[in-house]
A and B are shown apart, each in its own frame.
Chain A
């Protein structure tokens, strides 16, 4: 059986784990193509108008898989740590896709539920049950599959901490490839903040990474810092955040500003992103307090290339002058 993983949303976080795990279940794994015009316009057409652009793109990626896959993998990732959730939209994602599955003639969905909110060890049992019920594996086989997947995921995260970006490591990410870099003395360290499914999707953010690097940015991304360090740094807020991925963003800005690691921040957020709309206030406050220049880039399916380029050029120019003046 051939199972398709949409190259969207949590793909950028957990692909090595999922791919290894599903392969060990005896499945043939394929990923949807990189986001392109066709995929996004499919998504925009089908998805509810008010959703954020990455979720719309997810609909499109499911469409892209319907010809070649026998099943689509849409896990319900409720929580990845104790006392926290992911985004509500990830909680409802399988139901949202299921609601249009008939209309779009999608193949059946594989939707294991992963919830570590109450107890972190639950995660393992949820996957074991999924493997046993859906694919008839024994418990031992399932445990072995999980272990192998964990090793793959750990290896991936270790390379990220060593300074690779997810786009450098995931298969066939041709977009967002930097063609040249200005010499070292002309570079500025810029923190690129935002959800991986936005900043690493070269189509949605219009090659933002390559553009920034070609203009002389030395990019710092949240993935380069160890997860535990980010989580520790994220506790420096009046009330603990209950969205894990927003905690990572908050932790990154706290860590970068606290350790004077960056000259400026570019914060990419999707229009109508719920959690980001709130922590935006805290992030702006933090950047202001630590006197770090910051630019918020709001993206949606209508974002134009010219507008983006003008804004990042202006921002980088401003940073260059600031350093020379000082």
Chain B
């Protein structure tokens, strides 16, 4: 059995670990590229959101590599994501591929179905064993997230451009080899050490920017043209609202992000007191939280036509006025280009700089 799933940021590192423990072969789709996106966009409905198009591209490339079982996460709405799997399966079958398709529905929607999906790819799996495996792999996923969170902050201060990237790569490799829970813990300490060891310039005057928006766009650097790295290289300290392990964790305490969902919802309530699916409320709540902490600006990322984010975008002007914080909204689709993103980000950076200058002058 050759199992594959679509890419999502660094999730493949965790999945590699998970599938090895489950004893099945993991066909890692080739890294998402322009070709992947073109393949996906060609076969997907025109105004389906960007993540679906990239997913389809990933699946096609994985099938070409010989994958015979595809797994896709599910959900129960109201965002489109929960129905992605069904549509993707239909598209791939219409293209003539032959494969086994498994939808992994959230644990909360049925424990038995959740277990069966894993049992289908790993014969002889018991519930107890699955739980144990998930726990270890998940802790590894947490470690990856903590590393990338720290690297977002260190990059703003790095003395030599590129050092953080190299350190992060080495750190991730260290974790890759760790097996037992103890080893993972030890590897994480060592890996974090590597990132801290990056030579920093503490004197640098950095801007603080919060990144909010739709989860795929925040987690997958390909889809946003590596906006975090671009900003980091300009010397911008970054925090973001969505992390992959926060998102798949059974509780919503958001240990990586730092603010539990309940608090985020409370902050969003004056503007959007209703879960609209996706990250709609998290985006609004995130802006309020960042603004309260004195961030210089916010960047919102979304795939073109994303319903929950469009609701948030419609409300943002009011949040922006009330909290006096600039927000840059960037929507991406298969037509977007890197140069366009960079121009807008640079202009936003200049605006934030000027704003800080004029504020200092008044004070």
- A237 to chain B: which residues have CB within 8 Å? 86
- B82 to chain A: which residues have CB within 8 Å? 242
Query: Known: A242-B76, A271-B47, A274-B80. Contact between A92 and B87, CB under 8 A?
Result: no
- B79 to chain A: which residues have CB within 8 Å? 88
The reply on A282 being an interface residue by CB < 8 A is: yes
- A275 to chain B: which residues have CB within 8 Å? 80
Interface pair A89/B311, CB less than 8 Å apart: yes
The reply on A314 being an interface residue by CB < 8 A is: no
Distance (whole angstroms) from the CB of B72 to the closest CB of chain A: 11
Q: How many A-B residue pairs have CB under 8 A?
A: 118
- B273 to chain A: which residues have CB within 8 Å? 95
The reply on A243 being an interface residue by CB < 8 A is: yes
Distance (whole angstroms) from the CB of A110 to the closest CB of chain B: 15
Which residues, 120 to 164 on A, are CB-close (under 8 Å) to B? none
- B10 to chain A: which residues have CB within 8 Å? none
Interface pair B277/A88, CB less than 8 Å apart: yes
Q: Which of A27-35, A45-53, A63-71, A217-225 participates in binding chain B?
A: A45-53
Distance (whole angstroms) from the CB of B124 to the closest CB of chain A: 28
Interface pair A95/B78, CB less than 8 Å apart: no
The reply on B343 being an interface residue by CB < 8 A is: no
Tell me the count of chain B residues lying within 8 A, CB to CB, of chain A.
45
- B47 to chain A: which residues have CB within 8 Å? 271-273, 277
Q: A83, A238, A298 — which one has the most chain B CB atoms within 10 A of its CB?
A: A238
Query: Known: A92-B272, A243-B77. Contact between A51 and B314, CB under 8 A?
Result: yes
Interface pair B46/A277, CB less than 8 Å apart: yes
Interface pair B87/A282, CB less than 8 Å apart: yes
Query: Known: A88-B307, A96-B314, A242-B82. Contact between A277 and B90, CB under 8 A?
Result: no
Roughly how many angstroms separate A275 CA and B103 CA in the complex, as a whole number? Answer: 19
The reply on B11 being an interface residue by CB < 8 A is: no
Interface pair B277/A285, CB less than 8 Å apart: no
Contact with B along A272-287 (1 / 0, CB 8 A): 1111011011100100
Q: B47, B87, B317 — which one has the most chain A CB atoms within 10 A of its CB?
A: B47
Partner of A278, one of B45, B76, B277, B313: B45
Interface pair B89/A96, CB less than 8 Å apart: no
The reply on A320 being an interface residue by CB < 8 A is: no
Tell me the count of chain A residues lying within 8 A, CB to CB, of chain B.
39
Interface pair A95/B272, CB less than 8 Å apart: yes
The reply on B315 being an interface residue by CB < 8 A is: yes
The reply on B57 being an interface residue by CB < 8 A is: no
Interface pair B274/A272, CB less than 8 Å apart: no
Interface pair B78/A91, CB less than 8 Å apart: yes
Query: Known: A48-B314, A239-B86, A242-B83. Contact between A277 and B272, CB under 8 A?
Result: no
Q: A89, A92, A243, A273 — which one has the most chain B CB atoms within 10 A of its CB?
A: A92
14 other contacts beyond A274-B305, A281-B90, A282-B87, with CB at 8 A cut-off? A50-B310, A50-B313, A83-B76, A88-B278, A88-B307, A91-B311, A243-B77, A274-B80, A274-B306, A277-B80, A278-B83, A278-B84, A281-B45, A282-B86
A sample of 16 inter-chain contacts (CB < 8 A) reads A50-B310, A50-B313, A76-B274, A85-B277, A87-B78, A91-B275, A92-B272, A99-B317, A100-B314, A242-B83, A243-B77, A272-B47, A278-B48, A278-B83, A281-B90, A282-B87
Interface residues of A (CB under 8 A from B): 47-48, 50-51, 76, 78, 83-89, 91-92, 95-96, 99-100, 102, 113, 237-239, 241-243, 271-275, 277-278, 280-282, 285, 298
The 10 closest A-B pairs by CB, nearest first: A92-B311, A242-B77, A85-B78, A274-B307, A88-B307, A272-B305, A48-B314, A99-B315, A99-B318, A96-B314
